[in-house]
Structure formats: structure tokens, C-alpha cells
Amino acid sequence: MDNNKKKKKTDIVTKMTIIGVLGLLVILVVILTIAFSSMKKKPDNKNKGNQDITVDNNVDNDGNRDVEYVRALGVIKEVDSENDQLTILNIENNESVTLKIDSAVDIKDEYGSLMTLVQFNVGDMIETKYDKKEKRPDFIHKTAKTWKRSKINEVVVDKEKKTITVGNDIYNYTDDLVTIFNGNSFGMDDLAPEDEVTLMGYKDNVWTIIMEKGHGYISLNNHSNFIGGILEIGTNKTVNIEENTLVAVPVGVHDILVTNDQLTYETEVMVEKDQRVTIDVKDATPRKGMVQFSVAQKDISFTINGETYSDFSKPISLDYGKYTIKIVKDGFVDWENELVVNKPFATFEIDLEKKPTYIHVDSPEGADIYIDGNFIGVLPITTPIEPGEHTITLRRDGYFSKMYEIVVKDNGEDSYQTFPELEKLNTESDNPIVVPNDDFDNDETDDVRIEELPSFDDNEEDD
């Protein structure tokens, strides 16, 4: 009995060992088969050279065929949402391909957020991996490998060199460049520095130009008086006015200022793309400047081109041009000058020159006249004199000298004086008292008769 039990145990162990060995053999065969198959299907890359297309070989989900995948960096040429198709240009080999899109395709933006086919736009830069034969992509992602310059101006195109210059940066472009304005393509001849555009590209190449805002034109009419003047468009554009003036401007509303030395015209215009807006400046008005006059004297006569201004305490508005300013005041020299108004505001300070006062003495003729002890000349005479009190001394050989006190009024008028004839020294009965006069020359020997001096006011004459 015990021997039978031991024999049964031995048979069980033997069977389990055999099964285990067979299982290992089967596993080993499967592994070798798979390894051999993988080596056989591995593509030959020896002749690949510089080909930029990346190809992957995989078994499809059903295991029925090998799938050759292509990886591409491209720009979208067409979005066909009705037929679920996307046409791209592979910028690495300049080949176009139309991809078939279904719900299984992984579509994301550059931030990893899910997208749909209709959210793509022509000109978008994408990365994809697609079935080379079936043209079905595994994924389509907006790429972050490319660059983008949004809403810029002053883009200069050189069609001969096929370059695009933005500031100090120079980019290349090809005939496959995608251009878009309002969903339509445009030619490079339509691109002007005034346009607002968005550029997208990879490395040194521009692959997409999106025109955000185009340009129109501004011209002038009836502007012969403005030739040589200035046309100001907004705050950034200034143009010299010529006989034929046509200026490209960005689409939008613009403040217009047309000026020359004497005229001005202001308006506001709306310019649409490719529209020519003509500005008629026949109703231009003279340019005006505000002039503030400051005159030191009061109670004056103030005229501009002969027109009297009674109140000039506030700035006076004058058209640009030349004017004659005249100011008159009693006792002062008339002031007359030319004023040129050529700027928005100017200030003129004026201080009149006081008119000199003269004294006119006509008698006694032949007598020497001294004023305040200073020899002036021989009568009759006219000489400048300051208003105020003065001492007049009259001297002549053989005659008594006489002194007079006069007052010259400060009224802007000259002083006219006539003095009595001098008395001769012709008899011994005249006993003049001789006194020295330090004001006279030491060599003089004439006598001075001391008597009460008459006083002469300004403009009084002795008969």
C-alpha cells in the first residue's frame, strides 16, 4: 500500500516537470520568432542621406499590415472642414500633402489644449505624424518651434532677393509663402510698409504673412497755394507737399493738417483698404498766432497796419504774415517796426525812447550863453536840455553879464526863451561891482552886475 502511494507521487512530479520544460520551450520559440521578425522588418537607413522626413514602421491596430509614418513640420495651406481634410506644406522638404482627419486624431494647440479641425486657420504652423500611405495623421499639434511677430508695421519686401526686412532683422521667403487678408491670398506687390501684419516663420524663413490692416491713399486737391508746405497725417507721418501728392496710409481714421507759412487746413478722414481719399483744401484759412504785447509806457496810441487797438492787455490773434506796428506817445520818440507772425505764440516787449527836450534862445544876438556854468555857444542857439531848473548866464565883451533862473517843464515840449539886450559898459558913472565867477574862464575880464535875477519859466519870453 505504501509503495503504491509513493509511485503515484513520483508520476505526478515527472509529469509536472515535463509540462514545465515544454512551456519554457514554447516561450523561448515565441521570443525568438518575435526578435527575428523585428530584425527582418527594420528599415535600412544606410541610404537615407540628408532626407528630412522621419519615417516610423509599426504594425496597425488590427495587425494586418505594416504602417509607414512621416513626421513633418509644416504650414497649413487649406482647411476643408466639410470633407475633414487638411492640406499642409512640409517646410522641411517643400512637399504638399492632404491629410484625412477623423475623430481619433489627436489635435491640440501649442499649449496642449484640445482643438477641432475648424479651429485651424490657413497659415498656422503645425507638427504632425501621419500614415504615409493612407494620409491619416496620428496627431496634429500647433507647434511652439516656430516664431511669430504680431501686428507690426514698416515691413519692407525685396522681391528680387526674396527677403523681408523688419527693423534690423532680415528674413527669406519662397514662392510657397502663405499670404492672407480677410481669408484671401494677396500678392507681394500689395504689401506696403504702412500695412499692419503678423509674420510667422521657422528659423530665418517667413512662411506666413497675415495682413491685419491694409493701406489706402490720401491725395490733395486745389492745393497749389500749399506746394512746398507740409502735410501731417496723425502724429507719425509728415510729407512735403508737391504738385502731385499721393501718400499711402494705414487703414483707419487719420487727423490731417495741411500747412504752409500762411495757410492752414485741418480735417479728419476715414481710409479703407485700397481706397483713395482726396482732400480738397480750397477752404483753407490763414494760420493764426497769438501775440502778447507789453509796452512799458501808458496812455499810448497803438496801431497794427493802421488799425488802432485800444486794449492790448490780452494776446491779440493775428493771421500768419507781416505787420507794421506803430506806437505814439507825447514826449517820446515814435516807435515803428515790422512784426512777422510765424508761430502759434509770441511775446513782444517794447520800451519807448524818451524824446529829447530842446531850448531855443534867440536873443540877445551875439551874446555868449552858459547853462549851469557850461559854455554852450553864441546866440541865437538851439541845444538839448534836461527838464528842470537851470541857470542861464549871458556874456558879451563890453557889456554887463546877466544871469537868469529858468524852469524847463517835463511835458515833452521844447523851451523857447528870449532875454533882454545886455547893458553896455560905456560911462565911468557905472561902477560895477566885479566879482570872480569860478564858472567862467580865468582869462575872462568881463564884469558881472549884481542885481536881482528875473525868473523865466518855460516858454515865457521877455519883450
Looking at per-residue pLDDT, the higher value among 21 and 353 belongs to 353
pLDDT level of residue 458 (50, 70, 90 thresholds): low
Residue 42 reports pLDDT greater than 50: no
Cell of 266: 485741418
| Mean pLDDT for the stretch of residues 429-456 | 41
pLDDT for residue 90: 94
Q: What span, in angstroms and rounded, lies between the C-alpha atoms of 299 and 53?
A: 96
pLDDT level of residue 176 (50, 70, 90 thresholds): very high
| Mean pLDDT for the stretch of residues 318-322 | 87
Q: What span, in angstroms and rounded, lies between the C-alpha atoms of 178 and 244?
A: 35
Cell of 61: 491596430
Question: What would the 3-class secondary structure string for the chain be?
Answer: CHHHHHHHHHHHHHHHHHHHHHHHHHHHHHHHHHHHHHHHHCCCCCCCCCCCCEEEEEECCCCCCEEEEEEEEEEEEEEECCCCEEEEEECCCCEEEEEECCCCCEEECCCCCECCHHHCCCCCEEEEEEECCCCCEEEEEECCCCEEEEEECCEEEECCCCEEEECCEEEECCCCCEEEECCECCCHHHCCCCCEEEEEEECCEEEEEEEEECEEEEEEECCHHHCCCEEEECCCEEEECCCCCEEEEECEEEEEEEECCCEEEEEEEEECCCCEEEEECCCCEECEEEEEEEECCCCCEEEECCEECCCCCCCEEEECEEEEEEEECCCECCEEEEEEECCCEEEEEECCCECCCEEEECCCCCCEEEECCEEEEECCEEEECCCEEEEEEEECCCECEEEEEEEECCCCCCEEECCCCCCECCCCCCCCCCCCCCCCCCCCCCCECCCCCCEEECCCCCC
pLDDT level of residue 46 (50, 70, 90 thresholds): very low
Q: Tell me the pLDDT of the chain averaged across its residues.
A: 83
pLDDT for residue 268: 95
What domains lie within the chain, and their CATH numbers? 54-142 (2.40.50.320), 147-213 (2.40.50), 218-282 (2.60.40), 288-350 (no CATH), 358-457 (2.60.40.1120)
| pLDDT tens-place string over residues 92-125 | 998 999 999 999 999 999 999 999 999 999 999 9
Looking at per-residue pLDDT, the higher value among 126 and 354 belongs to 126
pLDDT for residue 461: 43
Looking at per-residue pLDDT, the higher value among 57 and 127 belongs to 127
Using only C-alpha atoms, the chain has a radius of gyration, in whole angstroms, of 55
Mean pLDDT is lowest, of 37-46, 101-110, 326-335, for 37-46
pLDDT level of residue 462 (50, 70, 90 thresholds): very low
Mean pLDDT is lowest, of 191-205, 249-263, 365-379, 434-448, for 434-448
pLDDT for residue 115: 93
| pLDDT tens-place string over residues 223-274 | 988 999 999 999 889 999 998 999 999 999 999 999 888 888 999 999 999 9
| Mean pLDDT for the stretch of residues 162-181 | 94
| Mean pLDDT for the stretch of residues 341-352 | 87
Residue 74 reports pLDDT greater than 90: yes
Q: Which residues in 274-288 are b (16+ Cβ under 10 Å) and which e?
A: eeebebebeebeebe
Mean pLDDT is lowest, of 71-75, 355-359, 398-402, for 355-359
Q: What span, in angstroms and rounded, lies between the C-alpha atoms of 45 and 41?
A: 12
Looking at per-residue pLDDT, the higher value among 79 and 286 belongs to 79
pLDDT level of residue 371 (50, 70, 90 thresholds): very high
pTM above 0.75, yes or no: no
